[in-house]
Amino acid sequence: MRQLAAGNWKMNGVTASLSEVEVLKQHLKARPANCDVMICPPATLVMALAEAAAGSPIQVGGQNCHAKASGAHTGDVSAQMLADAGATAVIVGHSERRADHGETNEQVRAKAEAAHAAGLTAIICLGETLKQREAGETLAVVHDQLQHSLPTDSTGANTIIAYEPVWAIGTGLTPTPAQVGEVHQALRGALSALVGPEAAHAIRILYGGSVKPDNADELMGVGDVDGALVGGASLKAADFAKIIAAF
């Protein structure tokens, strides 16, 4: 399947940051990507980034959505709103939201269902903490997160999984290729049991956590790794382009 390089800008970016999109477009023109490319900016920039990316291969995603389509939820953004602004995907259940906002697997599943209902691809994030890895609980933890965060109607067209070890996010630390491969293989098997082998093979499983230009090649070469969710290194187009070129 075609891999995906998705950039997660987190709470970074103002209008001036759209110049990075222009630079990325030039990079992609000079050297067309061998993978799908997406940027997930803050909600305030979704529409402007979608306009800036028009006519290029760059897709746009949100970073979070509410589980409801509309209503009295001050400060929240619905999946429909993101779709209306030009997004085709939305990240749900990022570990920073699970930690900062106490999001549970069940809430993440409801958000993914809302994304599906709005025609968006849900990028469902999961991953273990360092404590859980050291306790040998990694596979059990990610299996539990997958089982309870994944909508039953998930297919390759509407769902992407992102395995992001919490201890690797923003730290410069990464699991070894063998550790990444072990988790991705286990997730593929778990997907097969949950939504059937056909959907399991079509659902992309991204790796995320300190993906950089100098480790992208190794990480993206691991079996069952279908792309990357990139935080810090997606903010500068020159770095993100180097990661994309490693695919």
Catalytic residues: 94, 164
- Region of 30-38, 107-115, 192-200, 230-238 interacting with ligand PGA (CB under 6 A): 230-238
Residue 89, strand partner residues? 61, 121
Binds ligand PGA by CB under 6 A, chosen from 209, 216, 219, 243: 209
> Do 76 and 83 form a contact (C-beta atoms < 8 A)?
no
164 near ligand PGA, judged by CB under 6 A: yes
Cα–Cα dist 207/217, whole Å: 12
219 near ligand PGA, judged by CB under 6 A: no
Residue 6, strand partner residues? 38, 229
Q: Which of 123, 190 has the CB closer to ligand PGA?
A: 123
Give me the DSSP letters along 41-88: --GGGHHHHHHHHTTSSEEEEES--BSSSSSS-TT--BHHHHHHHT-S
Q: Which of 17, 210 has the CB closer to ligand PGA?
A: 210
Q: Taking the mean position of all CA atoms in its chain, how far away is CA 190?
A: 19
Binds ligand PGA by CB under 6 A, chosen from 25, 167, 232, 240: 232
210 near ligand PGA, judged by CB under 6 A: yes
Q: Which of 13, 232 has the CB closer to ligand PGA?
A: 232
231 near ligand PGA, judged by CB under 6 A: yes
208 near ligand PGA, judged by CB under 6 A: yes
> Do 242 and 213 form a contact (C-beta atoms < 8 A)?
yes
H/E element holding 207?
A: strand 204-208
Q: How far is the CB of 209 from ligand PGA (least distance, A)?
A: 5
Q: What SS3 class is residue 235?
A: coil
8 near ligand PGA, judged by CB under 6 A: yes
Residue 144 CB neighbour total at 10 angstroms? 14
Q: How much is the CA Rg of the chain, to the nearest whole Å?
A: 17
Residues 27-46 vs ligand PGA: string with x where CB under 6 A?
Answer: --------------------
Q: Which of 189, 213 has the CB closer to ligand PGA?
A: 213
Cα–Cα dist 14/117, whole Å: 29
Q: Which of 70, 176 has the CB closer to ligand PGA?
A: 176
174 near ligand PGA, judged by CB under 6 A: no
Name the residues that contact ligand PGA, by CB under 6 A: 8, 164, 169-170, 208-211, 229-233
